[in-house]
């Protein structure tokens, strides 16, 4: 009986580090994606809050920085982000032009695209 236990215990002990490494790498790969999703939602909430105020020069500056943060969030998510990337780019261009009406319009389109998209 002991003859069988030795090979089994060696096999189990050799598998354990491999199993742990696989679980660890899977967890590590999920963490950046989850973090990007959370940041994307937080930054989008900030966008909604900024849109509640009149869009003046100071808000445009904040929106410009925020649009870059949103872009980074989307890039961290990979290929599935294309659906909301175009509305975000339109928003960024409206911010650069300094057109408050276009900023409001493109921000709403972006937020609508985001609400229909799941990361």
Q: Other CB atoms closer than 10 Å to residue 41's CB: what's the count? A: 13
- Whole-prediction pTM value? 0.67
Using alpha carbons, select from 35, 97, 29, 32 the residue that is nearest to residue 67: 97
- Reported as a single tens digit per residue, the pLDDT across 72-109 is 888 888 766 777 889 999 999 999 999 999 999 999 99
For residue 35, what pLDDT is reported?
Answer: 83
- Reported as a single tens digit per residue, the pLDDT across 7-52 is 444 444 444 444 444 444 444 455 777 888 889 889 999 999 999 9
| 4: Cα within 13 Å, side-chain hemisphere | 1
């Amino acid at each position: 009986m002991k003859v069988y236990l030795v090979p089994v215990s060696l096999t189990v002990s050799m598998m354990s580090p491999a199993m742990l490494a696989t679980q660890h790498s899977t967890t590590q790969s999920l963490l950046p994606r989850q973090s990007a999703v959370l940041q994307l939602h937080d930054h989008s909430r900030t966008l909604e809050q900024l849109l509640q105020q009149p869009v003046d020069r100071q808000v445009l500056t904040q929106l410009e920085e925020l649009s870059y943060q949103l872009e980074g969030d989307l890039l961290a998510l990979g290929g599935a982000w294309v659906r909301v990337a175009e509305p975000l780019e339109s928003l960024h261009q409206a911010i650069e032009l300094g057109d408050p009406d276009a900023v409001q319009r493109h921000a709403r389109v972006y937020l609508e695209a985001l609400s229909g998209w799941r990361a």
